Amino acid sequence: MWEDLEVTLEKIENEKKKEKPSAEELGFGIHFTDHMFMMEWNRESGWHDAKICPYQDFRMDPAALVFHYGQAIFEGLKAYRGKDGQVYMFRPEDNFERMNSSAVRMCMPRLPVDKVLKSIKALLYLEKDWIPVAEGASLYIRPTMIAVEPRLGVRAADTYYFYIILSPVGAYYPEGFNPTKIYVSDEHARAAKGGVGQAKTAGNYAASLFTTQRAKKEGYTQVLWLDACEHKYIEEVGTSNIFFVIGDELVTPPLGGSILEGITRDSVLKLAEMWGVNTMERPISIDEVIQASRDGSLKEAFGTGTAAVISPVGEFYYKGETFSVNNGETGELSEKLYCELQAIQKGETEDPFQWVERVG
Ligand SMILES: *Cc1c(COP(=O)(O)O)cnc(C)c1O
């Protein structure tokens, strides 16, 4: 199996295997499995030296370009173990197509999607005992690409690493599906049109830390980002896309270059349309949302992303005032979307769009 992928396999010695965390210890992104996938790129050879090897440190030159100018991109997806014992991935090809779009924007090499998918399946098969079985738990997959050439000078690197690490993660809602409180920033922005907001690139997340810390200090979980130009139109919430139910319409901001094209966002739009929900991608101003909260037409608000799938919003803060959504309770559509998406992701229900990929 490994030979025809031209991927070498170096297994960890049995006695060096880590102890697996218990369901209570899981958390998010704390524990990592015993093996990783790794390959290198340079101009002469393209991608080469692909291997599945023990999880290990890198040796890197302190002048590596990634440390100075942030040429780094990543992805996030999950593998689930279904009740039938099978391992499932959700829309993995879309993640690697998106990674290639990020790569193009950041002047990095594109990935051979087929080959990477096969390697991920091989890695998951090897690490299948790490996929937690607890309710809501999964194995988070983090593909990453970084510029490793040592050079001080702002330009695209000539050498890169691509690697995939795996982290068993617990239920995102250990205390149940409770709505979060979010902080609307009218001062900072996540990304501007013409910038790199559409790419899953490291700097976007560094840029968000300051405002997120401020929100947390004020008792809010996430920042609701407005557009960088007028601070008027809603863009995203934390590292998730955002949806509102206003009247009988499910609305989300249109992708305009500054918004990350979420795979969960797309899945929600497709499912809701299939159910006959009136869905719209259109600009939504913060004033419209406040007005809808005041007149009672704001029925639901929720974030969408791989980590939490659906994250209901119960309250938001804007310019010294707080506004509640659905009396701080989880809305009907939010709950229905969460249950249906989880069931599809775990292979427990019909998969009308062929989103799920069985491993091994
Ligand atoms: C990853 C990400 C999302 C969600 O994308 P999914 O494919 O649904 O996980 C949304 N916004 C930002 C900024 C992100 O980085």
Q: Coil, helix or strand for 57? A: coil
For a ligand 1 pocket test, name from 201, 237, 306 the mutation site with the most ligand atoms within 8 angstroms of its C-beta. 306
CA distances from 226 to 128, 234, 359 (A): 41, 5, 39
Do residues 164 and 120 lie in contact, with contact meaning Cβ atoms separated by under 8 Å?
A: yes
Alpha carbon distance 265, 243 (integer Å): 8
Q: What is the pLDDT along the chain (360 residues), one digit of tens a residue?
A: 344 558 999 999 999 999 999 999 999 999 999 999 999 999 999 999 999 999 999 999 999 999 999 999 999 999 999 888 899 999 999 999 999 999 999 999 999 999 999 999 999 999 999 999 888 899 999 999 999 999 999 999 999 999 999 999 998 776 667 899 999 999 999 999 999 999 999 999 999 999 999 999 999 999 999 999 999 999 999 999 999 999 999 999 999 999 999 999 999 999 999 999 999 999 999 999 999 999 999 999 999 999 999 999 999 999 999 999 999 999 999 999 999 999 999 999 999 999 999 997
**Is 265 a pocket residue for ligand 1 (Cβ < 6 Å)?**
yes
- Residue 317's identity, in one-letter code, is Y
For the chain, the structural domain boundaries read: 2-169, 180-345
**Is 212 a pocket residue for ligand 1 (Cβ < 6 Å)?**
no
Closest CA to 170 of 144, 138, 141: 138
- How far, in Å, is the centroid of ligand 1 from the Cα of 207? 15
**Is 262 a pocket residue for ligand 1 (Cβ < 6 Å)?**
yes
Cβ atoms within 10 Å of 194's Cβ, excluding its own = 9
CATH class of 2-169: alpha beta
Predicted TM-score of the model (pTM) = 0.96
- How far, in Å, is the centroid of ligand 1 from the Cα of 297? 27
CATH superfamily of 180-345: D-amino Acid Aminotransferase, subunit A, domain 2 (3.20.10.10)
Q: Which helix (H) or strand (E) holds 114?
A: helix 113-126
